[in-house]
Copies of this chain bind each other. A is one copy, B any other.
């Protein structure tokens, strides 16, 4: 079986990931941060080590400002709803995932204003357009690091600079960037970073996180037991506890640490280089097939490990069905939880077939994909 849906969740994971999860459940299964006994301290250490690994990975100064979430959607909701108040305005793009678009649409009901800046046909958002959309009441700029539909890497560094210039917090949705492209929250002017643990970071499903720059206060969307200040009937202010109510997914966090360790052992630049090579093969291979349209930027370096295509006016779901049933190739088709991005690139009705290789994808597997698409295109 050839798995090419790493943008949904990465697979396979490094061997060390499932092993770390297993070991945590079997040998370090206490609740972290709640007690002082030995196994609870061990569990707490697992959580702290992953927090530190994430901080190192993203250039974050204080690991206590890394919050664990159950996925990037959870982290994005924490950020968006924790930040925006009625009467305030958010600038974002037409390439966002529903995990940004739907919370924003929800907030419109309580009087939050939104501007979805339209990207061009390749899915690229213009920093100038973002800047033009800023109003006196703009309280956040939210941008996807790379489109989950086309893979288009956005000019997030430029947008970060614009946000800084205007003194507006910049929230980067790194769902498709984290683990693919090096992020440094200080260099990139990212004030709030939302990321999944189970995609580019190679951790297990059920993990994700949020970085919140010092000075930014988010209201909470979930309160509860934090293991700290149990005497208070209100949510404590200290971080990360304030945003981490309830028992953490310690085994998942152990696995996430193993995923990050793997990336560091190989080197993210090397993974990125390999990914660009695979995307280049996919783009060039697909473009050579009559009737195939490839979306997004022409340059493979503009793709974050994702290439979307269609064959003539064939239904994208049908193509993915044939790829699976006839060729044992697993890709995703349809709208990929991002209707507005498809409206932007003109594929709202047809959807696209999305190919997303991972660090364990081989060149031979890509060749087999191209051959399969060539076969389908002749049908």
Contact = CB atoms under 8 A, between A and B. Distances in A.
Contacts of A223: 77, 98-99, 102-103, 105-106
Interface in A232-288: 232-235, 245-252, 255
A337 B103 contact: no
A220 B9 contact: no
A205 interface: yes
Given A206-B247, A206-B248, A226-B337, 18 more contacts: A1-B38, A3-B30, A5-B30, A5-B35, A9-B30, A21-B21, A35-B330, A36-B333, A37-B323, A71-B246, A77-B223, A98-B225, A98-B233, A102-B235, A103-B223, A106-B223, A205-B252, A233-B339
A289 interface: no
A5 B31 contact: yes
Number of identical protomers: 2
A181 interface: no
Given A8-B35, A31-B5, A249 B337 contact: no
Contacts of A97: 224-225
A235 B70 contact: no
Contact of A222 (B73, B232, B249): B73
A29 B5 contact: no
A252 B204 CA distance: 9
A252 B255 contact: no
A70 B206 contact: yes
Contact of A21 (B1, B25, B106): B25
A50 to B, nearest CB: 13
13 contacts: A11-B30, A18-B21, A18-B26, A30-B330, A36-B324, A37-B332, A70-B74, A74-B222, A76-B224, A77-B222, A205-B247, A205-B251, A233-B340
A55 interface: no
B37 A98 contact: no
A331 B317 CA distance: 54
B12 A233 contact: no
A35 B196 contact: no
Interface in A26-58: 26, 29-31, 34-40
A371 B101 CA distance: 60
A35 B233 contact: no
Contacts of A29: 9, 11-13, 205
A250 B205 CA distance: 6
A358 to B, nearest CB: 11
Contacts of A204: 25, 249, 251
A227 interface: yes
